Amino acid sequence: MGDKANTHPGAAGRATAADHPASVRNVVLVGHSGSGKTTLVEALALTAGAVNRAGRVEDGGTLSDYDEIEHRQQRSVQLSLVPVEYGGYKINLLDTPGYADFVGELRAGLRAADAALFVVSASDGVDGSTRMVWEECAAVGMPRAIVITHLEAARADFEEMTRVCAETFGGDDPDAVLPLYLPLHGPQGPDGHAPVTGLIGLLSQKLFDYSTGERKESEPGEDQLPEIEEARNRLIEGIIAESEDETLMDRYLGGEEIDVKTLIDDLERAVARGVFHPVLAAAPAADGARQGIGTVELLELITRGFPTPLEREAPTVTTPDGRPREIKAACDPDGPLVAEVVKTASDPYVGRISLVRVFSGTLRPDETVHVSGHGLADRGHEDHDVDERIGALSAPFGKQQRVLSHCIAGDLACVAKLNRAETGDTLSAKDDPLLMEPWEMPDPLLPLAIQAHSKADEDKLSQGLARLVAEDPTMRLEQNQDTHQVVLWCLGEAHADVALERLRSRYGVQVDVVPHKVSLRETFADRSAGRGRHVKQSGGHGQYAICEIEVEPLPGGSGIEFVDKVVGGAVPRQFIPSVEKGVRSQAAKGVAAGYPLIDVRITLKDGKAHSVDSSDAAFQTAGALALREAAADARIHLLEPVDEVSVLVGDEYVGSVMSDLSGRRGRVVGTEQTGGGRTLVRAEVPEIEIDRYAVDLRSLSHGTARFGRRYTRHEPMPAQVAERVREQAKEN
């Protein structure tokens, strides 16, 4: 695994369809924004011969030619697949965004991959969100390795960063996180910094020098042996501790020299089982160099240490109506077709393109498949249970799409023109429809209220929004019936910015962002009475209706009750429904600040009618007038929605989170320890105070906290807040 000095070049040129799952490796790169994931992918592609020294692919363009938005924002905003071939293996490198707003793209990468490569910057360290993803991978037993980048930085310290990784990722077993190589430093420069020029293999005790642009092997000097020996002994002990051969530790402690081949074989098995996590180093290639430092070692780790798709359990599937269905063999190219759309994108020339991971069977172009959806109706995604014809299969490479003849179980491919399939949908055989167990999607909790910029935009807005949410299942589209606003629920500000930019540049829709409104209500604070008089006798057919009502408050959740207590026929029976209709219509419009009236009982006590001039319309108007008069003489409470908020946060931030919630007029109702140094804080907070909580909590907890919210009830606003809202309503 890198220590065998395998310097054969990768298979240059086109990524072809894999012939067998054993020759496929699916690897997701994880790390915070700026850790160097995309640079590392390009360096691996260069070493594998997929790009030239200028980073350009055979067909023109570069690997970084993915999305114009990424170029403008100078950061990755979407999952990118880069397939390369090396040593007879097809490696699907899944480059994920490091920014927390695009965690949905990260989850898609984790779903599609069989192993994870955690990229850690030697100058920036490990952030909280990376630690959380590590724990997610550990929970499902995904094999993981760590690569430390930015070794060229002046303050980079590989030894210190390895120690930090062992403490952060090792948990109770820091010896399960150990380096396979040490950096080889060149002569010190005038600033005292010694650049990294290669690596020292601990198992082979060889030097791998990249200073000439080609990887060259040599023997270590006498002065280097003590440093190698100490780190090597610890690595050997760590490998043996995870070995499946229980006699190996006794033999080692008894003084037996364990041969390198046995150690490498045990290391590869421990990595594939997800119990040992090697640390490697990488640095970009110098100008004109064919190989970046550590890229050969990384490619050998991927091909020899990471598991094949055959080692992944068969997916849990059911029929679309929920009946269990067992897939007998994991990753069988001849088995029933089970594939999943892990990403959906739109190309202005090709149309919709779906990135698909095949878990069983073989996917071929021009065949008809069944598309089963998960019914994410609450996020604007319709449920799917339809047949569709597969378009062309291809492998992406920058902006190029390279045609594939098929895609076997374990491999990934892009599928053109699946017009109904969305991210998370299952593709299966037309005559054997299946549905995979859905993967967890983060809940979007930042509202973005928008409106069309012009009439022309209004005509295109609906279609543009539909296509936008079809691409991104972490986005939720809401047509709020109370506030009459169109709201895009996003994961954060950067997520919202990308959504707006895609609407503008990709779908030609210009929108304006407007203040987000919460669904306020009104109610009577005490009993009141009102008289509605609608009398017009000026020529022609007159209008005559008088009604007297009494209004009293009811407990929360009661809605509006209408009671008829008219005696003696003061209001004819046929007009009582008219009074109720007028009252309810006025209640929907509000009686103080223009918000719907709720939780009151309205009793019709008396009234008058005219034998000729009374009508349905007249009594509707009188009912509305009576309610307005009752409100004019009463105290009206403004009611605001209150959410139950649950915050999962590290123990070190609990005090800050509770203080912040109190400052938002929140009431903390409980806390509980959840293990792993985290606490669940539960509070009730007015919705109007947590509009931007998704952004503020991330800042408060350095990206390590998560929260959920659930509507519970409406309750009266404090007087000073209600007065401010009323003043704003008058201005509008």
Give pLDDT tens digits for 369-394.
999 986 665 655 566 688 999 989 99
Q: Per-residue pLDDT for 2 more than 70?
A: no
Evaluate if pTM is beyond 0.75: yes
Tell me the sheet residues that pair with 346: 352
**How many Cα atoms are found within 13 Å in the side-chain-facing hemisphere of 471?**
22
Q: Please provide residue 499's backbone torsions phi and psi, each rounded to the nearest 5 degrees.
A: -60, -45
CA 340 to chain centre: 17
For the chain, domains (ranges, CATH) are 21-311 (3.40.50.300), 317-436 (2.40.30.10), 446-514 (3.30.70.870), 521-634 (3.30.230.10), 638-731 (3.30.70.240)
- The helix-helix angle for 225-241 and 260-273 (nearest 10°) equals 50
Instruction: Please state which of the ranges 58-62, 259-263, 350-354 shows the lowest mean pLDDT.
Output: 58-62
- The helix-helix angle for 616-632 and 576-589 (nearest 10°) equals 50
Of 639, 669, 405, 370, residue with least CA distance to 524: 639
Cα separation, 694 vs 492, in Å, equals 6
Q: What is the pLDDT of residue 709?
A: 95
Residue with tokens 């000026």: 538
Q: What is the pLDDT of residue 285?
A: 63
Per-residue pLDDT, averaged over 15-25, amounts to: 84
Cα separation, 591 vs 600, in Å, equals 12
Q: Say which residues have a Cβ less than 8 Å from residue 487's Cβ, sequence separation at least 6.
A: 447, 448, 449, 450, 477, 478, 479, 480, 516
Q: What is the pLDDT of residue 361?
A: 94
Q: What is the pLDDT of residue 70?
A: 56
DSSP H or E stretch at residue 386 = strand 385-389
252 within 8 A of 276, measured Cβ to Cβ: no
One-letter amino acid for residue 22 of the chain:
A
* Sequential DSSP letters for 568-637: TTSS-GGGHHHHHHHHHHHHHH-SSSS--B-SEEEEEEEEEE-TTT--HHHHHHHHHHHHHHHHHTS-EE
Per-residue pLDDT, averaged over 421-437, amounts to: 91
- Looking at per-residue pLDDT, the higher value among 689 and 724 belongs to 689
Please count the other Cβ atoms lying within 10 Å of the Cβ belonging to residue 626. Answer: 31
Per-residue pLDDT, averaged over 625-649, amounts to: 95
Q: What is the pLDDT of residue 65?
A: 46
Tell me the sheet residues that pair with 682: 646, 670
Q: What is the pLDDT of residue 62?
A: 52
Residue 361 DSSP code: S
Cα separation, 317 vs 433, in Å, equals 10
Instruction: Please state which of the ranges 71-85, 204-218, 495-509, 660-674 shows the lowest mean pLDDT.
Output: 71-85
CA distances from 659 to 165, 434, 673 (A): 32, 49, 18
Q: Is beta strand 24-30 parallel, antiparallel or unpaired with respect to 89-95?
A: parallel
Indicate the pLDDT class of residue 446, thresholds 50, 70 and 90: very high
414 within 8 A of 332, measured Cβ to Cβ: no
Q: Per-residue pLDDT for 4 more than 50?
A: no
Q: What is the pLDDT of residue 519?
A: 93
Q: What is the pLDDT of residue 381?
A: 58
DSSP H or E stretch at residue 128 = helix 128-140
Cα separation, 336 vs 593, in Å, equals 61
Residue with tokens 């190219």: 333
103 within 8 A of 474, measured Cβ to Cβ: yes
Q: Say which residues have a Cβ less than 8 Å from residue 610's Cβ, sequence separation at least 6.
A: 542, 544
Give pLDDT tens digits for 537-571.
766 678 999 999 999 999 988 999 999 999 988 99
Per-residue pLDDT, averaged over 56-70, amounts to: 53
Per-residue pLDDT, averaged over 581-601, amounts to: 93
Cα separation, 266 vs 316, in Å, equals 30
- The C-alpha R_g of the chain, in whole angstroms, comes to 33
Give pLDDT tens digits for 458-510.
989 998 998 888 888 889 999 998 889 999 999 999 999 999 999 998 889 99
What share of the chain has pLDDT > 90, as a percent?
57
* Sequential DSSP letters for 35-76: SSHHHHHHHHHHHTTSB-TTSBBTTSSBTT-S-HHHHHHTS-
Of 679, 690, 680, 692, residue with least CA distance to 712: 690
650 within 8 A of 701, measured Cβ to Cβ: yes
Rounded to the nearest 10 degrees, how much is the dihedral formed by the CA atoms of 164, 301, 398, 293?
70
Cα 220–Cα 226–Cα 227 angle in degrees, nearest 5? 80
Indicate the pLDDT class of residue 100, thresholds 50, 70 and 90: confident
Tell me the sheet residues that pair with 624: none
Exposure string (b/e) for 302-329, b if CB count within 10 Å is 16 or more? bbbbbbbbbbbebbebeebeeeeeebee
Q: What is the pLDDT of residue 687?
A: 95
